[in-house]
Structure 1
Amino acid sequence: MIVSNVSLSGCAGVNSALCAEAGEGHQAGVAYPTTLTPTGNLIVAVCLGFIGTFGLTNNLLVLVLFCRFKMLRSPINLLLINISISDLLVCVLGTPFSFAASTQGRWLIGDGGCVWYGFANSLFGIVSLISLAVLSYERYSTMMAPTEADSSNYRKISLGIALSWAYSLFWTLPPLFGWSHYGPEGPGTTCSVNWTSKTANNISYIICLFVFCLIVPFFAIVFCYGKLLCAIRQVSGINTSVSRKREQRVLYMVVIMVICYLLCWLPYGIMALLATFGPPGLVTPEASIIPSVLAKTSTVINPVIYVFMNKQFYRCFQALLRCEAPRPGSSLKSSSKALRGAAAVGPRRTNDFLFMVASLGQPAVTLPQLGASFEPTIDFTKAPSSDNKPVIVSLVAQVDG
């Protein structure tokens, strides 16, 4: 995790002898008390208890839905499961220890436990971040691919999942071997990377971690979803009401994802940079605990944004509550459809019902009256080209029943 390690930053100019004693206690593995007041520890414990409980519940529910309903076992949904597993591991292997430390007012499992906690939570947090970036790229590449994605091909997604774990290990193992190190952070009830050391060794690691594990995933997410939104806006000439509705929904999702990403992780980065490059004591232990709590809220928010706002998962969730089969609908099919580019060669023979073929730039054709459950799937069969040739767009929908 990226959070400010300033457990001793408040010592500067206050009591150097006390600070030295605390530092010696840390080296000896002594559990020294937190700098928060009892009320502050109680507030942090309540927040962590809430986050741990709901994060565990939400992510377990995602795994239950995935195991219960075969229709969810598509390649791209495996990335959602990977995110849920990493968030679940944070709730199981991280949050309980910081919660217990907050209730007792001190770190409870010693120096070895502190190093393990810092490494494990950094690993799982970065896995989640990289998986979100891989997910955005996969959605973008699937939408823009010239052919429909093969729903039985798990190789590409498996490589993406393996990449997220390998990439995270690449950046979280170095502190165990001397490039920076893990230690107590904030008020002393959690552990993370040491952000306060001014050595070149430590500063170089912090800069790399900030750039490659926070900034790069963020720009990947913004770029991919931005391009996806632009592609959706290109179909506004086909059916204004339908395309506007789809555009607004995608824009709404993108804005929520970006805001939540920044809300959870940007305070980590800012606090880390202030603690690293600012003067001693600039970041107080009381202030440094806020980014730590905010980052852990991602374990609660991720399942809600990426899973329960997904129509596939939501319908299966409703079916699970009602103990019945999920209601069939076009969104189950259209969630894996794409805005694809290839020359149109006539109507495709699929299990879908072909309603209309129209070309961009031509007068709009009136759609036949359809039931309320109809939701079109917009399928580009030709990307915009420089020769201004008409682009064929097929509007396909699956008949419920």
Structure 2
Amino acid sequence: MFSEVTNINLTSNFSDDDSLTSLGQEWSDTPQERLSRTGHKVVSVFLGSIMFFGFVNNLVVLILFCKFKTLRTPVNMLLLNISVSDMLVCVCGTTLSFASSLRARWLYGRHGCMWYGFVNSCFGIVSLISLAVLSYDRYSTLMVYNKRAPDYRKPLLAVGGSWLYSLFWTVPPLLGWSSYGLEGAGTSCSVTWTERTSRSHSYIICLFIFCLGIPVLVMVYCYGRLLYAVKQVGRIRRTAARRREFHILFMVITTVVCYLLCWMPYGVVAMMATFGRPGLITPVASVVPSILAKSSTVFNPIIYILMNKQFYRCFLILFHCKHQMTENGHSSMPSKTTAVQLNRRVYESTPAATGHISGSPQYNKDCISPASEKAEPPDPPALPDIMP
């Protein structure tokens, strides 16, 4: 979403043509701590790993979408949008900061700095908003039962809306409401957190409220309600629902914790750099939160996609591991039904009485090996697949 946090003296990084006055920014005259050559090498190792694994993980997801038609469901359009935005961050953003870290200085001048800050913010916000919309989709489809044919209109509107929403918040710094500039260890760019103007402060406050705070609240609320609904069913059908409840509990905790670990440290450090005393956040202190935020491009496809049962089955087929699908008996075999026939009176008394998840695994031979079709079917789930 953003890059690193603390502004530094730019005179040694920009060419004479790219003077400080041309940047239109006020920079501190006091020299600030810079990373050592060894520190830059360590950062480059982390950035190189994030760039490689983030690209590969999201590329696998895109290949799965192209190869298996069964994955092209409405809710999976949001997952595809997350992978596309994360891959663009790796290609258009992380590559630049990785190369700069190898040389221990920013290599691409003023315009490259503005480009880096813009694309990193834009693609990052698209990913964050998509994660929040995905949590709302899982919550809303649990509470509102809908037997109609799959509707691609709403997910596609959500995908387009995430990009428009992101542009709405990332274009203003290019037009004068705040700005993008070189920051932190001097090898990446983002919003100029330490610019001491009311215009910059107003933009940063709005950015954090609408692009970090609200998505966090949406995810916590939706997944909290979703987990509560699952626990209600678990009390009624303890044997049938227990495994599903533990699985969903694990996924909810993993989702929220990884989201907060990736983005909240960066958010806290950025706010301290914005409203704290000058020099409070050093370049060294800003590097770790920045790397954590960038690492979301690696973890997102694992948590939201590769741990999804549909994607996992297709993943095994793609890499010719079909025999693994039958080793555990029914554990990898999708059920032909999406919910058991609970007692109507008891079932309708729970929040999940009308539950149906549009993204739950569907029976499709594209992702099922012939051997697994003959396996003994599993116990029917007590609830549709709410989480991957």
Amino acid at match of 2:107: L
Q: Tell me, in whole angstroms, the C-alpha distance in 2 between the residues paired with 1:99 and 1:332.
A: 45
Aligned to 1:77: 76
| Partner of residue 94, structure 1 | 93
Q: Which of 192, 196, 199 pairs up with 2:197?
A: 199
Deviation at residue 308 of structure 1 after TM alignment: 1.1
Aligned to 2:253: 255
Inter-partner Cα distance in structure 2 for 1:333 and 1:165: 36
Report the equivalent of 2:216: 218
Q: What TM-score do the two structures reach when normalised by structure 2?
A: 0.81
Partner of 1:154: 152
Residue-by-residue CA offset, 1:170-202 (whole Å, 9 max, x unaligned): 110110111000000101100000000111000
* Paired residues of 2:33 and 2:282 also in contact (CA < 8 A): no
* Distance in 2 separating the partners of 1:280 and 1:24: 24
Q: 1:149, CA displacement in angstroms? A: 5.6
Structure holding more strand per residue: 1
- Which runs of 5 or more residues in structure 1 are unaligned? 12-16, 339-353, 362-370, 381-401
CA distance in 2, matches of 1:333, 1:217: 34
Q: Counterparts of 1:163-178 in structure 2 under 5 Å?
A: 163-178=161-176
Structure number with the bigger relative contact order (C-alpha 8 A, sep ≥ 6) is 2
Give the whole-Å Cα distance in 2 for the aligned partners of 1:332 and 1:215.
38
From the superposition, tell whether residues 194 and 23 of structure 1 become closer, same or farther in structure 2 (CA, over 3 Å).
Answer: farther
RMSD: 3.1
Which residue, 313, 316, 319 being the options, matches 1:318?
316
Contact 2:3–2:120 (CA under 8 A) maintained in structure 1: no
Secondary structure, aligned partner of 1:281: coil
Deviation track 1:43-78 (CA, whole Å, cap 9, x = no partner) reads 000000100000000000000011111111101011
Q: CA deviation at 1:286?
A: 1.2
Change (3 A) 1:77 1:149: farther
Match of 1:14 in 2: none
Q: Does 1:188 align with 2:192?
A: no
Task: Number of aligned residue pairs: give it.
Answer: 345
SS of residue matched to 1:94: helix
User: 2:380: which partner in 1?
Assistant: 376
Kindly name which structure, 1 or 2, has the bigger radius of gyration based on alpha carbons: 1
Give % identity.
52
| Residue aligned with 1:360, SS | helix
Q: Is the 8 A contact 1:26 1:111 kept in 2?
A: no
**Where does residue 125 of structure 2 map in the other structure?**
126
CA distance in 2, matches of 1:309, 1:102: 33
Q: Does 1:271 align with 2:269?
A: yes
Displacement of 1:373 after TM fit?
Answer: 3.9
Partners of 1:75 and 1:157 within 8 A in 2 = yes
Q: CA deviation at 1:146?
A: 2.6
Structure 2 stretches lacking a partner, 5+ long: 24-31, 348-374
Give the AA of the match of 1:71. Answer: T
SS in 2 for 1:184: strand
- Normalising by structure 1, we get a TM-score of 0.79
Cα distance in 1 for residues equivalent to 2:154 and 2:276 = 43
